Amino acid sequence: MEHTLDFGIFRLEDFLIRVLKNYLIHNMKKILIIFFVIFLIILFVLSKPKDSHSILIADTPSERTQGLSGRESLAENQAMLFVFDYPDYHKIWMKDMKFPIDVIWLDENKKITHIEENISPETYPATFFPPEKSLYIIEAYAGFAHKNDLQVGNVFTTPFF
Q: Mean pLDDT, 10 residues at a time, over the chain (161 residues)?
A: 54 77 76 72 62 80 92 89 94 95 94 96 96 94 92 79 54
Determine the structural domain holding residue 40 and report its residue range: 1-48
| CATH code of 129's domain | 2.60.120.1140
Instruction: Give the C-alpha separation, 95 to 135, whole Å.
Output: 21
- In total, the chain counts a number of residues equal to 161
Residues 44 and 106 in one domain: no
What is residue 155's DSSP assignment? B
Residues 38 and 10 in one domain: yes
Residues 23 and 65 in one domain: no
Q: Is residue 157 part of a domain?
A: no
Residues 39 and 94 in one domain: no
Contacts of 135 by beta carbon, 8 Å cutoff, 6+ apart: 83, 84, 86, 87, 106, 107, 108
Q: Is residue 153 part of a domain?
A: no
One-character DSSP codes across 45-94: HHHS-TT--EEEEE-SHHHHHHTTTT-S---TTEEEEEEEEEEE---EE-
Residues 43 and 118 in one domain: no
- The radius of gyration of the chain from alpha carbons, rounded to an integer in Å, stands at 29
Q: Is residue 154 part of a domain?
A: no
> What's the pLDDT tens digit per position in 82-107?
999 999 999 999 999 999 999 999 99
What is residue 149's DSSP assignment? T
Tell me the average pLDDT of the chain.
Answer: 84
User: Taking the alpha carbons of 118, 121, 124, 127 in that order, is the dihedral positive or negative?
Assistant: positive
The model carries a pTM of 0.67
pLDDT of residue 64: 92
Q: Is residue 73 part of a domain?
A: yes
The domain tally of the chain equals 2
Residues 124 and 75 in one domain: yes
pLDDT of residue 47: 56
Question: Cα-flanking dihedrals φ and ψ of residue 159, to 5°?
Answer: -70, -10
Q: What is the signed CA dihedral for 31, 35, 37, 38, rounded to 10 degrees?
A: 140
Q: Is residue 152 part of a domain?
A: no
Helix, coil or strand: residue 36: helix
Residues 13 and 60 in one domain: no
Instruction: Give the C-alpha separation, 20 to 111, whole Å.
Output: 65
